[in-house]
Amino acid sequence: MNLPATPGAVIAVLNCGSSSIKFALFDAGGAELPRQAWWGGKVQGIGSAQPRLQTQDGLDRVLDLGADEPYHDALAVIREAIRARLGEVPVLAVAHRVVHGGAHHAAPLRVDAAVLAELRGYIPLAPLHQPFALEAMEVLLQQRPDLPQVACFDTAFHHSLPLVEQLLPLPYAAYERGLRRYGFHGLSYEYQSLVLPERHGELAGGRCIVAHLGSGASLCAMRGLRSVATTMGFSALDGLMMGTRCGALDPGALLYLMEVEGLDVHEAGHMLYHESGLLGVSGQSADPRALLAREAEDPRCAAALALFVRRIVREIGALVAVLGGLDLLVFTAGIGEHQAEVRRRIVAELGFLHLGLDDTANAANAAVISSAGSAVRVAVEPTNEEWVAARHARALVSP
């Protein structure tokens, strides 16, 4: 895609995590919002000894962030980099990926002080992401109150879930207080709902499962391009085993850790979010690439990979049962898009569905990786959460 050298206006997107901030600028000067970002980058390693600013045009430099407020300093670095890149080109709005929107927010909305105060109430449900997105919003509200900000929620896409998929098997009063299954990675799944019909036609509107496999991982069952079931629930800890998160866990194990082994709530939370998953089981890494390189000589690396694949296969099987069959299986996000061996192992264990893999296409991360005789089409589709957020922001500020 040939993007203009200088856009007439841009939408900025911020995706804030605990130690990194990704940013992207989308050309908003034309009739259509291009899916490819005009420019962007990230600050990573916030809080570490050598945080870095990296941009898509090749800049890579170590930053000197203050010890007191490194996140604020990182945001200031990004603002200055954007200002230097844009010159006089106006920013129409800033869109934020916000992990949790609660039970009430089924669509993006403009950010003000009241919205910010409400969203702080969801921090305990998404502690790895929620507070940092809100911090970025707060800084911009203070420094640029004239600049429209739009919150785009990862939970919003799952508001189509039927009640039976929202309920937790707790006293019903818990549901009325907001203890329910919300679902996450919604911006990624929303993008798939838009792009899959372009790639796969009517098949995409049938019985489809999208596997968002990254450092955080979940599955979404879609029918008619709407979410009907998903593996993450009340929090982003639920469902699949992840890089450092445990996924679904017998609550009795957590009670044991706290009652018998004496972990307090903060220690238990740190274990479940930061010391579990692939890293916890292997003792080596949260990255499947590193574990694949070591599995032949390290049984724990092999066990971590086997458990990771098994949990995905089990959950796919459960979602196939909910859908009553499967027409399309889609892999997306970092692992899903780039780890051919992980995909191969997952598909191999789904042989009862009569899936077949084209090994050459799979090795090339092709758009369709199933064999000609496969009963289910298997696809790889890169995600584009930032474009979805930019699209929502543009619709709100310039309908």
In order, the DSSP letters of 257-276 are HHHTS---HHHHHHHHHHS-
Phi-psi region of 3 (alpha: psi -120 to 50; beta: other; left: phi over 0): beta
- Strands of the sheet containing 20-27, edge to edge, are 60-62, 52-55, 39-44, 20-27, 10-16, 91-98, 149-153, 109-110
Q: Are 61 and 77 in contact (CB under 8 A)?
A: no
CA distance 280 to 82: 38
CA-closest candidate to residue 331, choices 234, 192, 230, 227: 192
Helix axes 130-143, 113-120, angle to 10 degrees: 160
Element (H, E) at 21: strand 20-27
Phi, psi of 13 (to 5 degrees): -125, 130
Give the amino acid at 375. Answer: A
Give me the residue label for tokens 């298997």.
378
In order, the DSSP letters of 197-239 are HHHHGGGGGSEEEEEEESSSEEEEEEETTEEEEES--SSTTSS
Adjacent-strand bridge partners of 377: 328
Q: How far is CA 43 from CA 65, 104, 283, 388, in A?
A: 11, 32, 27, 21
Specify whether 154 is catalytic.
yes
CA-closest candidate to residue 224, choices 203, 249, 241: 203
Let me know the angle formed at the C-alpha of 382 by 309 and 348, rounded to the nearest 5 degrees: 30
Element (H, E) at 183: none
Please pick, among 154, 238, 250, 264, the residue that the annotation labels catalytic: 154
Q: How many Å from the N-terminal Cα to the C-terminal Cα in the chain? A: 25
Which residues are annotated as catalytic? 154
